[in-house]
């Protein structure tokens, strides 16, 4: 969608009109995680290989999901340039989905590891998953008690989990906290035009970016 200038929301709405498919699970994002779906797909792929009957579609699902987990990082790198050293990125959302503290296969882990490998500093917040995230990441990133605290002095904000409390941010407060008014939204929480009106550069999934001069 991004390469053709299409809007993924209109595409998913059109696909969902087919009642055999429906709308409930057709949402763009920065990849899936959790304890069930990744494990089940991997098990089916492995079974197919053991039987000499490769599951090509499921193999493609794995490949695409791995690629999708890197999308936010690529947007961050494209925006700031090749050298990300000493950039501070605020991360909202660590759990693989809202209403859980489960960090298994969480897309946030992929993003954070890539940022750390590039020399970035990461400040993160999640309403439920902080303890589990600390067990995995230790002291390699900063954990904060409130979502806005992560943004103080950050070069940009990345949203990875669609917690309801992230859906209506105080944009004026974000302007004061962020060094650069840029948001990387891995769950398409905001209307791009509203973000433009608030004075932010905005990258989402499957939609044209809002880039302010």
* pLDDT digit string, tens, across residues 130-170: 999 999 999 999 999 999 999 999 999 999 999 999 999 99
pTM: 0.93
Band of residue 177 on the pLDDT scale cut at 50, 70, 90:
very high
**Cβ pair 128, 101 in contact under 8 A:** yes
- pLDDT reported for residue 128: 98
Band of residue 9 on the pLDDT scale cut at 50, 70, 90:
confident
Active-site option among 1, 36, 120, 151 = 36
Long-range contacts of 163-170 (CB under 8 A, 24+ apart): 163/92, 163/93, 163/98, 163/126, 163/127, 164/98, 165/127, 166/92, 166/93
Residue 36 bears catalytic tag: yes
The whole-chain average pLDDT of the chain stands at: 95
Residue 188 has pLDDT above 90, yes or no: yes
Nearest to 125 by CA among 109, 141, 145, 107: 145
Rounded Cα distance, 201 and 192, in Å: 9
Q: By percentage, how much of the chain surpasses pLDDT 70?
A: 100
CB atoms inside a 10 Å sphere around CB 34: 17
């Amino acid at each position: 969608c991004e390469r053709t200038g299409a809007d993924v929301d209109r595409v998913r709405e059109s696909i969902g009109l087919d009642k055999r498919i429906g709308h409930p699970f057709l949402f763009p994002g920065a990849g899936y995680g959790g304890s069930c779906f990744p494990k089940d797909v991997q098990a089916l792929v492995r079974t197919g290989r053991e039987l000499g009957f490769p599951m090509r579609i499921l193999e493609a699902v794995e490949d695409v999901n791995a690629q999708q987990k890197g999308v936010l990082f690529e947007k961050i790198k494209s925006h700031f340039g090749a050298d990300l050293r000493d950039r501070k990125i605020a991360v909202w959302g660590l759990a693989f989905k809202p209403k859980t503290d489960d960090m298994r296969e969480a897309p946030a882990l992929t993003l954070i590891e890539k940022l750390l490998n590039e020399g970035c500093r990461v400040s993160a917040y999640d309403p439920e998953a902080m303890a589990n995230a600390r067990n995995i990441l230790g002291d390699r990133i900063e954990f904060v008690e409130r979502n806005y605290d992560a943004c103080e002095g950050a070069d940009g904000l990345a949203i990875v989990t669609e917690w309801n409390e992230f859906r209506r941010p105080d944009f004026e407060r974000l302007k004061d906290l962020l060094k650069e008014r840029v948001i990387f939204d891995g769950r398409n929480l905001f209307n791009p035009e509203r973000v433009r009106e608030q004075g932010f550069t905005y990258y989402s999934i499957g939609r044209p970016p809002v880039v302010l001069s």
